[in-house]
Structure 1
Amino acid sequence: MRLIKMTGGLGNQMFIYAFYLKMKKQFPHTKIDLSDMMHYHVHHGYEMNRVFGLPRIEFCMNRTLKKVMEFLLCKVVYERKQKNGSMEAFIKTYTWPLVYFKGFYQSERFFSDIEDEVREAFSFNMELVNPQSREMMRFIDADEHAVSIHIRRGDYLLPKFWENAGCVCQLPYYKNAIAELEKHEPAPSYYVFSDDIEWVKQDLSLPNAHYIDWNRGNDSWQDMMLMSRCRNHIICNSTFSWWGAWLNPRRDKAVIAPSRWFMKEETPYIYPSGWIKVSIN
């Protein structure tokens, strides 16, 4: 049996779930382990069943039992310990009765050959869309120049996140990203998604801008849904807007991304082919 640890906010949950979909193709007895999510109070909890209407196939166990199991019966595979992007540890056969995978799998390479299945799984539950987002969805669908732009501040301004992640996508990056985007779309309509709309209005001079500021709490996922309906994208170093851009099925889309994802870590596999990296300075 293979267990995959689930953790993080919606974007990270999606990467882990996509990895699970790939893993169970070769190893049908693979399960998602929600044990740690029961004690995870950041963001909005586990959202995959509600947001995408996915079946409840997840596995959960007592934390004490889990520790005993890991110590006695389990081979633990850490994604971060795989060197040079090696995939061997994820696809090899183990003699252990239980193999436990821990990581975030933030790369299309973990599921590129099952792209259609991933897109089908990540079909938003439209029955839950609120009236404002439903109206904005129709507006975006009719706009041939729609560009999503995601500015994440909030938790990224906290000292524990700032030095590695929060400092990456600041005003210089967005100015560079807008200049690059307008090479591909000379008459953009910007749809702004941010947890700090006032900062955007004050510091970014965006022509023809529409500000989406009503999706809070359990409705937060609807920002990703609206992003995915835009024609082109400016993302930040956030898996939330990564998926907003990736779920746009258009092959001719322009996706502008920061040249660095983290200041202290290299992430060479996080950028899908064709996405445009621009300087953060």
Structure 2
Amino acid sequence: MIIAKMLGGLGNQMFCYAFARSLQLENNEELFLDCGVYNRYKVRDYSLNMLNIPDTIKNSSEVKRRVVSNGYLNLSQKLYHVFFKIKKVSLRTDKIGESVFQLLGEKGLYYNLDRYYYPIVESKKEFKYTYGYFQSEKYFRGHKELIKKELKVRIQPTNKEKELLEDIKSNDAVGISIRWGKDYRNSPLNICNKEYYYKAMDIIAEKIEEPTFYIFSDCIEDVVKDFDFKYPVRYIEGFKDYESLRLLYTCKHFIIANSSFSWWGAYLSENNQKIVIAPSKWYKDSTKRPDIYLDDMVLIDV
């Protein structure tokens, strides 16, 4: 049995799921999703249940009847989190390393809060637990097409969304993800400035004859106020996170921010000729390039 702890917003939930689902497929075991954190975490909603997740994968209410509430599991995750924080501060590194990952993995604890891929080790434990973000396609590349299918939105679109979907499908749509909320701009994650987006739009305009730019943002009002786009743009607002995800992955090309949500929006696109532009850094404090990048991304220095 595999029990996956769900964390963060929809993009991070998708990475958590993709890793756990791949682990399940490799081990031919049951998979349970522990969504308990969302009972007290009010910043983001749990939206993974709006995607094409198989009914055979149980949710957190089913997990609680099993073993996820045991003290050993909760304590091990807290200790791992503290260990990661101490190492990051004392050694100034965001990399716990492969040896720790594999040592815990052998015990059935697949924990990884840093930004790098480590090869999976086999565990003979009856119960396996995943805790972390696992932000790399390398963790699930062997099951890529299945996972992409399962992470598409299953809920039928509203009339408002249908109209916009048809509009997006009718042209060379470019989805632009702009993180611009105050929590982002005042944090170490603040990587993508206005110049990044202006330059990225110029690159797209050189490659695509008549692109149509669609702006997705966590703070549309401030984007409207702060940006001076030289190309016509259309603002996407008033949609739930999973609806915005579907609108985004329906676009043909992408300018993404350093966010897991925009990464998945580009990744789920079915356009084999898509252009994906990304910032050359994902975190200001990374000691090396994180494994979230894909080989075909066009990187702009930031």
Give the alignment's TM-score, normalised by structure 1: 0.84
Instruction: Please say if residues 108 and 123 of structure 2, whose CA atoms lie closer than 8 Å, have aligned partners that are also in contact.
Output: no
- 1:34 aligned to 2:35? yes
Identity score, percent: 27
Corresponding residue of 1:11: 11
Shift of residue 75, structure 1, vs aligned partner: 5.0
Structure 1: runs of 5 or more not aligned: none
| Structure-2 change in CA distance of 1:132 and 1:80 (3 Å) | same
**Aligned ranges 1:54-133 → 2 under 5 Å:** 54-55=54-55, 57-59=58-60, 60-61=63-64, 65-69=69-73, 75-80=108-113, 85-87=117-119, 90-94=120-124, 96-127=125-156, 129-133=157-161
Corresponding residue of 1:156: 183
| Structure-2 change in CA distance of 1:58 and 1:155 (3 Å) | farther
Shift of residue 141, structure 1, vs aligned partner: 0.7
Shift of residue 136, structure 1, vs aligned partner: 0.5
Match of 2:251 among 230, 253, 273: 230
Shift of residue 13, structure 1, vs aligned partner: 0.6
- 1:195 aligned to 2:218? yes
Tell me which amino acid in the other structure corresponds to 1:27.
Answer: N
User: What are the Cα deviations for residues 142-186 of structure 1, in whole angstroms up to 9, with x where unaligned?
Assistant: 11x211111112253464xx1x21x20111211222222223224
Q: How many residues of Structure 1 are paired with residues of Structure 2 in the alignment?
A: 265
Corresponding residue of 2:232: 208
Corresponding residue of 1:48: 48
Instruction: Please say if residues 175 and 253 of structure 2, whose CA atoms lie closer than 8 Å, have aligned partners that are also in contact.
Output: yes
The 1-side partners of 2:198 and 2:185 are apart by: 23
| Structure-2 change in CA distance of 1:185 and 1:109 (3 Å) | same
| Structure-2 change in CA distance of 1:136 and 1:81 (3 Å) | closer
Instruction: Please say if residues 20 and 130 of structure 2, whose CA atoms lie closer than 8 Å, have aligned partners that are also in contact.
Output: no
| Structure-2 change in CA distance of 1:205 and 1:105 (3 Å) | same
Tell me which amino acid in the other structure corresponds to 1:132.
Answer: K
Corresponding residue of 2:262: 241
Match of 1:173 among 196, 208, 220: 196
Instruction: Please say if residues 48 and 54 of structure 1, whose CA atoms lie closer than 8 Å, have aligned partners that are also in contact.
Output: no
| Structure-2 change in CA distance of 1:132 and 1:12 (3 Å) | same
Q: State the Cα RMSD in Å.
A: 2.5
Shift of residue 275, structure 1, vs aligned partner: 1.0
Structure 2: runs of 5 or more not aligned: 77-106
Corresponding residue of 2:166: 138
The 1-side partners of 2:142 and 2:203 are apart by: 30
